[in-house]
Amino acid sequence: MNIMQMMKQAQTLQKKLKDTQDELAKTEVTGEAAGGAVVVTCDGQGKFKSIKLKAEALDPDHPESVDPEVVEMVEDVVTTAILQASMKATKLMEDKMKSVTGGINIPGLF
């Protein structure tokens, strides 16, 4: 195999990796707990997108007494905390990987 064939295969693989990453970013995956009272949505890359709570998640014995605004506020603060932790973890991973790769950007690695 000559160098031109290898470069062409590398370009093809790089495009397939990017296409797959794009597809995964557009895909939604959900997880449920407490019989559907808590639903978390992530993209296909595992990045958190949202959380939805039913009143039963906050007060299983008296869900009717839970103010819908409280449910929304809890969803918002949990979303903020998860997004902050996720951003910090991504930054940490990028910094660690840059130290390993000497700052070279390797597509698909991060």
Q: What tens digit of pLDDT does each residue of 4-37 get?
A: 888 889 899 999 999 999 999 999 999 999 999 9
Tally the domains of the chain.
1
What's the pLDDT tens digit per position in 30-63?
A: 999 999 999 999 999 999 999 999 999 999 999 9
Q: Is residue 1 part of a domain?
A: no
- Residue 20 covered by a domain: no
d(CA 86, CA 50): 13
Is the pLDDT at 109 greater than 60, yes or no?
Answer: no
Q: Give the domain extent around 68.
A: 27-101
Instruction: Name the DSSP class of 107.
Output: T
- Position 19 in a domain: no
What would the pLDDT profile of 68-107 be if each residue is shown by its tens digit? 999 999 999 999 999 999 999 989 988 888 888 776 766 5
What does the buried/exposed string (b/e) look like for 69-106 if buried means 16 or more CB atoms within 10 Å of the residue's CB? eebeeebeebeeebeeeeeeeeeeeeeeeeeeeeeeee
Residue 71 domain-assigned (yes or no):
yes
Residue 1 binned pLDDT confidence (cut-offs 50, 70, 90):
low
Residue 10: inside a domain, yes or no?
A: no
Residue 9 inside a domain? The answer is no
Contact 106, 93 (CB under 8 A): no
Query: What's the pTM?
Result: 0.75
- Supply the pLDDT for residue 108: 57
